[in-house]
Amino acid sequence: MMLSWLCALCLLCALCPGSSSRSLEWFTALVRTEYTEPLTNSTVLGTTESGRYGDSSPKESVQGLVGFPRDPGQLEGCHPDVHYAVPGMSARAMEEGEPWIALVARGGCTFKDKVVNAARRKASAVVIYNEAKNGNGTVPMAHLGTGNTVVIMVGYPKGMDIMELLRRNIPVKMIITVGTRHVQEFISGQSVVFVAIAFITMMIISLAWLIFYYIQRFLYTGAQYGNQGIRKETKKAIDQLQLHKVKKEEKGIDIEAENCAVCIESYKPKDVVRILPCKHIFHRLCIDPWLLEHRTCPMCKLDVIKALGFWVGETQK
């Protein structure tokens, strides 16, 4: 049973975070947009914590006008020679390194390729909007080797809202800031195997212990039933022994000189005694329990039960 407890302890240790597990840390991104609606000449502001920083992205704030691929067939930004249009910013300003943010669609190539191609055009950040089937959801992005370029992902509706404004040639300023930190624990494959082995071992040991326990219980119960049968037969044989009530000045028993060898008490008138086949005499209340356990005369060791012709607990020959 102790082994079962040890296995359970190992099981708990394996499940504890940090034993053989790894953790994923990720950050949300607060995305703020600002643009002027030409029809009303009013400034429209929008702020939402709808983005997610890429795994290898610097967790930093960045801002600038938003640009998108000029070619409608290159919205994913996968072509190495992709060109961007940034409403409100001249080509010269882009070349001189004025901060701007590239908006591209997910798919077509790796996240790293998108970021590298945009950084080649001096984008200070890349916003990747998710596919339509994922709605507002975002996913982890692996893009190791993209340097200091800030990378975030937003949901499809958010990306489409911004893209629609850019297609209307409306300048959109975006401010990206770090949002909430999240930590998600994962159990490694090795830990899963260890947990499974520990659990199976614990179950096998527990089952073996239960089987052993019930076998022992069965054997003990059988022995008890057997002993009860033997005691019953022994008592039946003892009842065949002669009983006698002691009388004062009785011939054959000197009540002054003799005493019971079991209780060491002298015989008194009206005492009930049992006379054994070997002619030894004892108090009935003393000798009966003795014979029930030992079957022999306390003085001469005669097997009283056999002497009466009984074979209790043995095969008669």
- What gap in Å lies between CA 57 and CA 142, rounded to an integer? 9
Tokens (6 digits) for 235:
């008592």
C-beta of residue 162 within 8 angstroms of C-beta of residue 33: yes
Tokens (6 digits) for 310:
């009984």
- Residue type present at position 171: P
Prediction pTM value: 0.56
In this predicted structure, what is the pLDDT of residue 44? Answer: 95
The answer for residues whose C-beta is within 8 angstroms of residue 99's C-beta and 6 or more apart is 62, 63, 64, 124
- Residue 305's closest CA among 255, 253, 236? 236
The distance in angstroms from the start CA to the end CA of the chain is 47
Q: Tell me the average confidence (pLDDT) per consecutive run of 10 residues in the chain, 317 residues long.
A: 50 49 80 94 92 95 96 94 94 90 96 96 96 93 94 96 96 96 72 82 90 83 61 82 81 64 86 89 90 87 83 48
